[in-house]
Structure formats: C-alpha cells, structure tokens
Amino acid sequence: MQQQPTKGSSRDQFVSKVGFIFAAAGSAIGLGNIWRFPYLAGKNGGGAFVLFYLICVIVLGFGLMLAEFVIGRHTQLSSVDAFKKLDKRFTFVGGMGVLAAFIIMGYYPVVGGWSVAYIFKTILGQLSTDAAIMGDVFGSLVTGILSPIFWTAIYMLANIVIVAKGISSGIEKASKVMIPTLLGLLAILVIRSLTLPGSIEGLKYLFLPDFSKITGEVMMAALGQAFFSLSLGMGCMITYSSYLSKKENLVQNATIVPVLDTAIALLAGVVIIPATVSFGFDLGQGPGLVFVTVPAIFATMGPVLGRVFGIIFFLLLTLAALTSSLSLLEVVVSYLIDNKNWERKKAVGFSSVILFLICIAASLSMGVWSDFHLLGMNIFDFLDWLANNILLPLGGMFITLFVGWFWGKDKVKAEVTNGGEINFSLFNVWIFLCRWVIPIIIGLVLLSGIGII
Ligand code: PHE
C-alpha cells in the first residue's frame, strides 16, 4: 500500500537549489566536524587517523551519499517507507537508520547543551590559557547534575520548535546563514592558532601519518567518524532528498556536500590540534578537547576581543549542532508521520520526551553514573560507539548493496541522470563502488574493529 507522505497536505519541498545544499551540508556539518573530529584525531594518533578518514570520505562518502540521494528522491519517501516501496526485504535498513538517529539524538543534545552553556561561560569571561583552570570549568559542567541537564533541555527545545514547523520554513533558513559565517570564523581562528608558538608541531601531528598507529580500532573510529560527519548510513540523506525536486543534479550535490564537510572538519583540526600542542594541553583527553582548547585560544586575544570571538564561536557551534540534530530528529519524526500517520506536532512531542530522558541518562553517565558501564563504556560513549561505529557502517553497507545489486541498474541510472538529462560518465565506476568496494571496506573495517581479524 502506498502511504500518504504528509498527512492531509502535499509533500513539502526545498524551495531553492542552494536551499537543499545548505540543508544537507547543515546536516553534515555539526558537532561531528568541530567537536568530534579534532578529539578523535588527537586521541587516535593524528595523521594516521586523518589519512584513513580522508580515504573513507573520498571512497565511501561520495558513493554512499549519492546512493542515499537517489533512493530518497526517487521514492519521495522517508527511509523506512522508501525501502518498503522499493524492496520489502530491505525495510530493516530504514528501521536500523531510525534506530541510529534515535540513539544519536540520545546524546547529541547533551553536547549541544555544553555548547550553549559555553556561550554564557564566555560572556562571563571564564577563559584562561591555563589547562588546569579550563579543565576544571569543563569538568564541573559535565559532571554536574542539574546544570548540564538544564542546558540540554534548552538545546532540545530549540530543536522541537524548528522541527515542529516543518522543512522549508525552519531548516532551510537556519542553514543558509550559518555555514558561510562558520567558515569565516574558522578562517580567523586558523590564523590565530597557527601563529601561536610551537603550533607547527601540532600541524605535523595532524598531517604526518605515523603508520604504526593504524590499528583496527583506529580504522573503525575513522570509518565511524566519516559516516557520522557526513550524516550517512542512517537514511538521513534519504529523508532530506525525498524533499528534493526532480530537476536537481544529484551527482553535483553528492560532491559538494562531502567537500564542504571535510573542509570544515580539517579547518577545525587545524585550529584545535596546533593550539592544544602550543598550550601543552593533553591531545588525548577526548570529548573535552574543543571546550578546553578553544577558550584558551580566545584567552590569548585579551579579555574583550577574546570574549567577542568566543561568543561568536560557541554561538556558531550551537547553530551548526542545531542544523545537524534537526536532521536527526527529522528522521525519527518523518518515520512516525509517514509510517504511523501521526500529525507532525504529535510525532515531535512524543519522540522528544523519550529522547530527552535518554539524554538525561547520557549526561549523568559523565558524572554521578560514571561507574555504570556497558561493554566497558559509560552510557554516553556506548551510545556514540553503537550508533557511529556499528549501526551507521552497517546501514551504509546495506544501502550500497541494495543500489549496486538489487534495485536494477537501469532504474538507478534513470534516477541519477534525471531520465538521461544529466551526463554522469562515472556511472559504472560508482556502481562498482556500490557493489564491491564500499561493502567490502566496511565489512573488513568492522571485523577488524571488533577484533575478529
Ligand atoms: N553529521 C552530523 C555532525 O557532524 C551528525 C549527524 C549524524 C547528523 C548522522 C545526521 C545524521 O554533527
């Protein structure tokens, strides 16, 4: 049975071409680039991690993103229904994606909340180049009980309001302003970071691979990060492109979005890693890295200038996070709308309440519940690991297998070329990637990441 996508009305669409690119890039660019990429690079040996990350983005990023765009635009349905319509046997892939979105939204708003909190900390002038002081500021925030939950709630509320309004009015507008501003501010920060004494060592750490550091776990972390950062493997890009008009050039979009996303991640790395080395902070400290190093960079700019830039930075980080979590919430919400025929407002309300409860658990697991472990990780790290290192790569593997083997080459070609209007000379290469290269790489990395090979 064909389901009505949006109850009672025709399906919403992005109103302009740049609107879609900004929304898709807005989904991709987020905490993944600015918070997660630098700290994973710091923790996993720098250059070796970055090199493998770039390989993943180039080989998998483009191929999988295009596969998701093709499925979404062809069916004009969100991921579960898209697969249900195309091939019932693959419906579980959509389901897995909704689950992954749900899990990520169970901790992402916690980090979003930290970012909001830092806007205020910067206003209050809590900046210092002293590692011990910045570490304390961060530590007391994340290990607290009510304060991080409060900031998470504020962040969550912003998501609820925008997603409840629907696609083009909320998501599109927010992204258009944010991405250019973010790029500008990062450029200023790059200059500041690279002019700090000793920062060149940090650059070397980031870009000169030490191959002895490449282990199964490092590769798994890099692969998971590629999926997370590009919003792939979970049907998010399927859902977004389901709102895309039939005239758009999918190949072009699938190239621009990963390039932008990677540029921003690398810029964030170039800001954060050299500065961390220059201040003598710990590169392997994990999730606190951006919240400790970046305020320290601002502290070097003096009280007024540092504060002004600091406020802009955390505001932008919050906005970047917001445009990503909107897309995560949208995956869950559009599943409920398209599948259960719920009203948008009801879907948003219901899912946010449950997600907020999971966020509370994730937040407390950084403090009072830190002794509670799942597979040796606290709740926060476990959710992050399960979604990004397991579910997203598995999802990506099935999506590419479906497009490569099961959908039918002619149908795929018709959709990707807009019925022959667009010339896509690498079509066969891309199909080969979907059939063999992407699934095999993912399979091997997963097996070595969990220690089987
Ligand atoms: N890509 C987003 C980020 O980098 C996170 C995200 C993952 C969003 C998966 C949607 C889907 O922050």
Q: How far apart are alpha carbons 380 and 374 in whole angstroms?
A: 10
Closest residue by Cα to atom 11, ligand 1, is 231
Give the CA radius of gyration of the chain: 21
Point out the residues of the chain with pLDDT beneath 50: 1-9
Ligand 1 centre distance from Cα of residue 226 (Å): 10
Helix, strand, coil fractions of the chain, as percent rounded to 5: 75, 0, 25
Phi, psi (degrees; rounded to nearest 5) at 377: -120, 155
Burial 33-57 (b: 16+ CB within 10 A, else e): bbbbbbbbbbbbbbbbbbbbbbbbb
CATH architecture of 17-449: Up-down Bundle (1.20)
Tokens of 311: 């406020």
Q: How many other CB atoms are there within 10 angstroms of residue 9's CB atom?
A: 10
pLDDT attached to residue 171: 62
Closest listed residue to residue 220, CA positions, set 431, 432, 384? 384
Choosing from 227, 229, 392 the residue with most ligand 1 atoms within 8 A of its CB, the one to mutate for a pocket test is 229
**pTM higher than 0.85 for the full model?**
yes
Can you give the pLDDT at residue 170?
A: 61
Nearest residue (by CA) to ligand 1, atom 9, is: 231
The finding on whether 97 has its CB within 6 A of some atom of ligand 1 is no
Residue 379 CB burial class (10 angstroms; 0-12, 13-18, ≥19) = buried
Residue nearest to atom 10 of ligand 1 (CA): 231
pLDDT for 379 equals 97
Q: Which atom of ligand 1 is nearest to the CA of 324?
A: 8
Of 56, 231, 240, 264, the residue with max ligand 1 atoms within 8 A of its CB, to mutate for a pocket test, comes to 231
Nearest CA to ligand 1 atom 4: 32
> In which residue are the tokens 């000379």 written?
425
Chain centroid to CA 282: 24
Cβ atoms within 10 Å of 396's Cβ, excluding its own: 30
Count CA atoms closer than 13 A to 434's CA, side-chain side: 28
Please state, in angstroms and rounded to a whole number, the distance separating the CA atoms of residues 353 and 369: 21
Q: Is 33 in the pocket of ligand 1 (CB under 6 A)?
A: yes
